[in-house]
Amino acid sequence: MNLVYPWREAPLARFAVIGDPVSHSLSPKMQHAALRELAEPGEYIAVQVPESEVEPALDHLADLGFEGINVTIPNKAAACRWCRTVSEFAATADAVNTIALGSRSGINTDGPGFLETIAAFPGRRATVLGAGGSARAVVLSLSAARYEVQLWNRTESRATELAALVPGITVLNKPSVANADIVINATSASLGGDGLNLDWSEAELHALAYDLMYSAEPTVFLASAGDRPKMDGREMLVAQGALAMGFWLGRPVPREPMRRAVGI
């Protein structure tokens, strides 16, 4: 668990991750490994920011002198609104996960980071469970990479709204793992230890179970997938985190020290 600072009590550091909750985040450990590898000065801390307080919190952290902020759930849409400029991808996803505070510019490294993690995996059919900020980035990236995408969300209207942005997306009326080479859990169910009532007997044996969340033990989603290949959110965390740090520093960031720091 991280030492977490309420945003009004945050000490000056160079970088931070903001979210609610954020105590579970591996980003401080991972990004410190990157900074050490690159012989870069500065600290990276975890800051608690409720969704309703994102904009004043970012104003405060900018005034303190922070250089860069990573944003995790549930704050990515609010962070997008705070930025003066955002990348085209982040604007379409309505989700910013990386901000350069000095210029108030935001990008989204979730989508490119996710695609990096599945580059070597065969199959072009993906099912995404969830329609929040991370799911939007994943769906848009999968579609751009010419995957066939199925989408389910507990509130179907949110899935329909997301599907309207991406031609060819199929909206499911119930969560399913059938007819997919990759099944991505982009819901927050794993944070609470909840399952999604999935029938994994419908899934093909080669189907990759991919949970964007991570925890000390396998999530309920991953455990329910049986002997099928599995990946948790640490791989995406590393990939998107390296892209974020590269955005701030203007130089390539090695992945391996970051992977070791998070135990993969």
Q: Are 240 and 97 in contact (CB under 8 A)?
A: yes
How many CB atoms within 10 Å of residue 102?
12
Burial class (CB in 10 A: 0-12, 13-18, 19+), 233: buried
- State the catalytic residue, choosing from 29, 76, 174, 230: 76
Residue with tokens 């409720």: 50
260 vs 262: CA distance, rounded Å: 5
- Catalytic site residue 174? no
What is the sign of the dihedral through the CA atoms of 26, 192, 68 and 114?
positive
> Buried b vs exposed e over 90-100: b needs ≥16 C-beta within 10 Å?
bebbbbbbbbb
Task: Give catalytic residue positions.
Answer: 76
